[in-house]
Amino acid sequence: MNAITPHSSSGSTSHYPSAHVAQAIETHTLAVIVDNEPGVLARVIGLFSGRGYNIESLTVSETEHQRHLSRITVVTRGTPMVIEQIKNQLDRMVPVHRVVDMTVSGRAIERELAMVKVRGKGDHRVEALRLADAFRARVIDATVESFVFEITGAADKIDQFVSLMLPLGLVEVSRTGIVAIARGPEGM
Amino acid sequence: MTKEMTGAEMIIQALIDQGVEHIFGYPGGAVLPIYDALFHQEQVRHVLVRHEQGAVHAAEGYARSTGKVGCVLVTSGPGATNAVTGLADALMDSIPIVCITGQVPTHLIGNDAFQECDTVGITRPCTKYNTLVKSIEELPRVLHEAFHIASTGRPGPVVIDVPKDVQFATGTYSRPKAFAHRGYAPKPKADPRRVEEAVALMRNARRPVFYTGGGVINSGRKATELLRQLVRTTGFPITSTLMGLGAYPASDPQWLGMLGMHGTYEANLTMHECDLMICIGARFDDRITGRLDAFSPGSRKIHVDIDPSSINKNVKVDVPIIGDCTEVLEEMLRLWTAQPGDGHAAAHKAWWKKIDQWRARKSLAYKPSNEVIKPQYAIQRLYELTKDRDTYITTEVGQHQMWAAQFYGFEEPNRWMTSGGLGTMGYGLPAAVGVQLAHPDALVVDIAGEASVLMTMQEMSTAAQYRLPIKIFILNNHYMGMVRQWQELLHGGRYSQSYSEALPDFVKLAEAYHGVGIRCEKPGDLDAAIKEMIAVDKPVLFDCVVDPSENCFPMIPSGRAHNEMLLGDAAENLDEAITEEGKMLV
Ligand SMILES: Cc1cc2nc3c(=O)[nH]c(=O)nc-3n(C[C@H](O)[C@H](O)[C@H](O)COP(=O)(O)OP(=O)(O)OC[C@H]3O[C@@H](n4cnc5c(N)ncnc54)[C@H](O)[C@@H]3O)c2cc1C
Ligand SMILES: Cc1ncc(C[n+]2csc(CCOP(=O)(O)OP(=O)(O)O)c2C)c(N)n1
Ligand SMILES: [Mg+2]
């Protein structure tokens, strides 16, 4: 056999499609409306794990009981091409009604709720309360040596609150993951 | 029609209402009520396979050769897991299948009951849709919805898992008017502005090429007709993927042969150097594109596909058109006929001249022999001796499959059944069973490798039972040839485990299966042997002993020095035919 070899062999040594490295990685929040049927969450999660997509956050709950519809909010990362692919892959699933990219529409509000347990005495306890107040976190449980705070906000606000609680006796954090909705009068 | 009946009877009734004539299956504890319901009727004919994988492949062959949905019935546990390979195969190649699996009774689900497995969990990633039927009330809807989902949009396999108590339960059957999945919108209407944009590009193209695929076949007979008209009126060259062979006649001068890893030199270079690529129902698979950053760098790309997730997946295109091939081709043809391209006749002439130079390279050439049968020669003779008949070809996976694609000229769609996406060895024999059932009077040939065919050989029993005169044409090179070829090219010729050791005597094996065995070892005997094979009205194992060392060229190697195209020794070495850019081809 005779090989047709290029004069200057390029650096890449794989025949297989390379990752789309030329494009920047972006974070997108997707709202996915699905039929609330058994296995639908497994289907969506299986798509992400099976195709190697990232899940940064995922929340799901029934939102329209009458019509058996649930809303999944998923935060994912990838190049614009991969994000487009994720949306198309989600959209073609049989129980999926709609996929809306909240990041592209640009007018979405994102919130997350966290419950944060802090244990401590004396100055630490006072400081924790003071910070909670500054972050508009509510005390939803208290003992003489602990608090459970409830805090709502954008994910980075919660991150910040949690890191401030760390030296003050942070015991445990439970977060809902991000939910999102568009601003203004229109529904999706 | 509304009627009281058991779940098992509903299943049969739904099949009848969907016009199903054949169902491929294998019984077991969890489907006994359905088998009982089958026993009481004569409209749906059950075909007993010898392994559930074979049932799915047979249904695939049936579906691909008829355009109908293929149906499968298997039991729970091992019945369902055995079917998985077939389901994954059908998903990759977009074949419409409805597969009914039995399940343990509802109250035992999750208890590790006898022959229980999480069928819905296991098959979720290898089906278009699947569902566990929890009550008799939903059964009629689920059954009809399965056919709807399997056959519309981008087709694919659907699994319905039916617990045994649901099969026994009684309920009201009627054919539903509406489906529960309102979000499922399978037929997007193509954006007319995009189609206009595409035709405008076509009018201005100097170096255009049509790159078509399995989507044209999926779309149906009419898509093929429209494609042929469009290609002829435009005068553009056309190539196709493995899955799209037959949509455009191989004997036509505008046909460049298959493209991709084992595609012709002219098809690949035309793709590489075109200024406009018109992709219709193909998915820019890695066997086509090779290294992505060097794929057809100078072209604008139009992509027609019914599935938005196929668009911009691997290759960014300029004009995406989401729609059915038939509909889009019709519109393209209408727009082109109203205002054909002109003013580029000279450019087109120069383009064809270039293509003819690439053709002159004769990239499929091989060194003929009088001593030993060259596999390519065997396919050529098979083609010559069967082309004037009503012939259907299936294949296994390996070198023989590629030689079949290169050397058997397909003139019509739905005549070529092969496992492209998953590349499943063992596909061809059961697929031939399905094709022969659908076309009892046709000549059905499985072009096989001696290794692949052993994976589902037991389906010879099925062929014997139903008197299906399928012809298994084995290119016996005593190697897993495709593996050996890669080991030769990429692993220093260390043929680790790729020799077909201790092969059965295929002639005796055929006889053991109540068929006829034919062995041919000399090129001079080949024609007579093939004629004998065709004349036999029984299943045939044809042991065609071929050159064990032949490799399949051209080849764009994968995984190694990757921007190289390898041609066989016999290809014409016309240096001037290879441009600098051509040399860079992946
Ligand atoms: C050993 C081996 C070697 C191979 N070498 C090659 C090779 O050299 N060349 C080659 O071509 N292949 C080769 N293949 C096959 C390859 O792996 C792929 O299966 C094949 O290239 C895919 O074909 P396709 O792009 O036509 O897509 P298909 O898998 O047929 O997909 C069809 C596309 O059309 C779309 N579609 C479906 N229905 C419609 C409709 N009604 N309207 C519009 N669009 C529709 C689908 O959404 C999909 O995107 C090889 C396979 C094996 C096993
Ligand atoms: C089920 C399965 N297992 C393994 C492979 C990998 N594989 C691809 S081709 C091939 C060899 C096929 O040998 P044979 O059927 O004799 O065909 P040949 O290449 O010799 O024509 C193998 C093992 C596969 N495609 N499918
Ligand atoms: Mg072999």
| Residue A137 and residue A91 share a domain | no
Residues A135 and A171 in one domain: yes
Q: How far is CA A38 from CA A35, A69, B322, in A?
A: 9, 12, 30
Q: What is the spatial order of strands in the sheet that A69-78 belongs to? A: A57-64, A69-78, A26-35, A96-101
Mark whether A42 and A62 lie in a shared domain: yes
Residue A52 and residue A41 in one domain: yes
Predicted confidence band of residue B354 (pLDDT cuts 50, 70, 90) = very high
Query: Do both A178 and A122 map to the same domain?
Result: yes
Residue A187 placed within a domain: no
Is A20 inside a domain boundary? no
Residues A127 and A152 in one domain: yes
CATH number at residue A88: 3.30.70.260
Positions of E strands within B152-194: 157-163, 170-173
**What is the spatial distance between Cα B388 and Cα B402, in angstroms, rounded to a whole number?**
22
**Residue B558 to chain A, least CA–CA distance (Å):** 5
Residue A123 lies in a domain: yes
Tell me the pLDDT tens digit for each residue of B21-75. Answer: 999 999 999 999 999 999 999 999 999 999 999 999 999 999 999 999 999 999 9
Nearest CA in chain B to A88: B309
- A3 falls within a domain: no
A13 falls in which pLDDT band (50, 70, 90)? very low
B276 close to B300: Cβ distance less than 8 angstroms? yes
In a domain, A17, yes or no: no
Domain residue limits at A99: 26-106
- Say which CATH number the domain at A149 has: 3.30.70.1150
Domain boundary among A106, A121, A144: A106
CA distance B17 to B220: 22
Testing ligand 2's pocket by substitution, the residue of B454, B472, B479, B483 carrying the most ligand atoms inside 8 A of its CB is B483
Residue with tokens 């496992």: B419
Asked if B97 and B90 touch (Cβ cutoff 8 Å), the reply is yes
CB atoms B561 and A98 under 8 Å:
no
Lowest-pLDDT range, A16-25, A50-59, A141-150?
Answer: A16-25
pLDDT in tens, B164-195: 999 999 999 999 887 877 789 887 799 999 99
Asked if residue A6 belongs to a domain, the reply is no
Same domain, A53 and A119: no
In a domain, A5, yes or no: no
User: Which of A71, A106, A141 is a domain's end point?
Assistant: A106
Q: Which of A106, A128, A144 is the endpoint of a domain?
A: A106
What domains does chain B contain, in order, with CATH numbers?
Answer: 3-173 (3.40.50.970), 192-359 (3.40.50.1220), 375-545 (3.40.50.970)
- Are B30 and B78 in contact by the 8 Å Cβ rule? The answer is no
Total domains in chain A come to 2
Q: Domain check: are A69 and A36 in the same one? A: yes
* B308 vs A107 pLDDT, higher one: B308
Together in a domain, A35 and A54: yes
Active site residue B482: yes
Catalytic residue among B164, B301, B354, B471: B164
Considering the domain architecture, whether residues A87 and A134 belong to the same structural domain is answered as no
Calculate mean pLDDT across residues B264-291. Answer: 94
**Is pTM, for the whole model, over 0.90?**
yes
- Concerning whether B52 is annotated as a catalytic residue, the answer is yes
Beta pairing class for B255-258 and B238-240: parallel
Question: Can you tell me the mean pLDDT for B115-125?
Answer: 98
A113 lies in the same domain as A102: no
Distance CA(B181)–CA(B131), nearest Å, equals: 12
Q: Is residue A127 part of a domain?
A: yes
B458 to chain A, minimum CA–CA distance in Å? 33
Please check whether residues A122 and A89 belong to one and the same domain: no
